[in-house]
Amino acid sequence: MRKIGVGLIGTGYMGKCHALAWNAVKPVFGDTPDIALVHLGEANEELAREKAAEFGFVKSSGDWRKVVEDPEVDVVSVTTPNKFHAEMAIATLRAGKHLWCEKPMAPNLGDAEAMLEAARQSGKVAVLGYNYIQNPTIRHIGRLLRENAIGRVNHVRVEMDEDFMADPDAPFSHRHEAVSGYGALDDFGVHPLSLITVLLGRVTSVMCDMAKPQERRRTADGAEREVEVHDVANALIRLENGASGTLHFNRAAWGRKGRIALQIFGSKGSILFDQERFNEFQLYLASDRATEQGFRTILTGPQHEPYGRFIPAPGHGLGFNDLKIIECRELIRRISGDGEVNIIDFEAGFRIERTVHAMARSFHEGRWIEIP
C-alpha cells in the first residue's frame, strides 16, 4: 500500500494517543506507507470539528457510522469506552475496513466472541491496543527468555496498581457501572495477561478473588449509589509451560500511578521490571560468581530495538505514546502482509478475554476454573 486512509472514533485519552501515533509513525520509522488522516468521529458535530482540527483530520462527523462508511478510510481506530467497542468493531469489519481497537474487546464475552467472528469472516486485520508489549525493555526480556538466560521459568508475579479510584470522596462515574465490566479485573487484568501471553504463553487455569474498597459513592446530584464493580482483584494462575503465577490488580492504591511490576523467576535466575521505571529492568544470574551475585540494572538504549528509531543515545528514555507509535507500525506491517509482527490480534485477544471471564467465574463460584 502506498497510502493508508485512517478513521478515528473517539478523541479522549486513547483517541489522542492514536492520533499522535498515526501522525508520527512515518517520521519515526520511515518505512511505512503515507498516512492520510481522513475522517474523525465524535459524539456530536461541534466536538468532532474541534478535535479534527487539533489532530489533523480532513473530515469530521457527529455520527461514527459515517467514519466507517467513508470509502477513503482503510483502517479505523476505535478508542471509545469499552461498552461501545463491539458495535463499532463489528460495523468496521463488515464495511471491509481494517481495525485497531483499544482493549479490552468488550465487557461481555459473547460480544467479544462476535467481534472475533466478524474479524474471521472479514479477512481484514483486527488488532487490540496492548502497547505495553511494545516496550523495548519488554521485547528484550522476551529475547532473554527465548535464549534461556534464566533457565526454565517456574513462577511469575505481576502487580498492576494505580490510585485513580483511591479517594473515597470521588464521585460515582461510568467506570463504577457493571456495564463497563468487572472493574480492576478486566480494566487492568488484560494488560498483565498480554505480557504473559507474549513472554510466557497461555494461561490454563485460574482462581480469583475480588474486593470493593468503596461500597458506595455519591453521584453528581449528591445521592448515594452502589459501586457495581470491584476495584481490587487477585488471582492464582497456572501456565501451559507448567509455571505457577499470581496476579494482583488495584485501582485504589494510593501512591501508585502506573505500576506494572513484573517478576519472572527461573531455574538459573530472575528478571524484574516495573512500569514506573519504564526504561530499565533488573537481571539476576545464578551463574555469576558468588562474590558478585546480585541484581544488575540494565538501562535500555539504541541496542534494544526499536529504541534507536526515536533517540540515538541511551539514558534519554521512551514514553507511553512512543509505544503506541511502535504498535501502529506493527499494525501497518500486518496490513502489509508481514506475518511476523509483535501485536495482539483478535485471536490472541479473545484468549485474554476468555481468561478474564474465567477469573470472574472463579470468584463467583469459589473454585479453580480450567481454560480450554
Query: How many whole angstroms separate alpha carbon 302 and alpha carbon 296?
Result: 19
CB 137 within 8 A of CB 278: yes
CA 278, chain centre distance (Å): 15
**Mean pLDDT, range 174-195, rounded to an integer:** 93
320-349 burial, b at 16+ Cβ within 10 Å, e below that, comes to eebbbbbbbbbbbbbbeeeeebbbbbbebb
Residue 339, pLDDT above cutoff 90: no
Residue 171, pLDDT above cutoff 80: yes
Mean pLDDT of the chain: 96
Name 289's Cβ contacts closer than 8 Å, sequence gap at least 6.
none
- Hey, is 366 helix, strand or coil? coil
- How confident is the model over 31-68, as pLDDT tens digits? 999 999 999 999 999 999 999 999 999 999 999 999 99
pLDDT score for 117? 98
244-250 sheet: strands from edge to edge: 296-299, 280-285, 269-274, 259-266, 153-161, 244-250, 232-239, 203-211, 369-370
CB 99 within 8 A of CB 7: no
- Give strand ranges (E) for the chain: 3-9, 34-41, 59-61, 75-78, 98-101, 126-128, 153-161, 203-211, 216-218, 224-226, 232-239, 244-250, 259-266, 269-274, 280-285, 296-299, 369-370
Please state whether the predicted TM-score (pTM) of the whole model is above 0.75: yes
* DSSP string for residues in 235-282: EEEEETTS-EEEEEEES--TT-SSEEEEEEEESSEEEEEETTSTTEEE
Residue 220, pLDDT above cutoff 90: no
**Mean pLDDT, range 8-21, rounded to an integer:** 98
How far does the chain reach from its first CA to its final CA, in angstroms?
Answer: 38
Whole-angstrom Cα Rg for the chain: 21
Identify the structural domains of the chain with CATH numbers, from first to last.
3-128 (3.40.50.720), 134-370 (3.30.360.10)
Kindly give the pairing relationship between strand 232-239 and strand 3-9: unpaired
**Cell 496490513, residue?**
335
The secondary structure of 128-173, three-state, reads ECCHHHHCHHHHHHHHHHHCCCCCCEEEEEEEEECCCCCCCCCCCC
Residue 340, pLDDT above cutoff 90: no
Residue 208, pLDDT above cutoff 90: yes
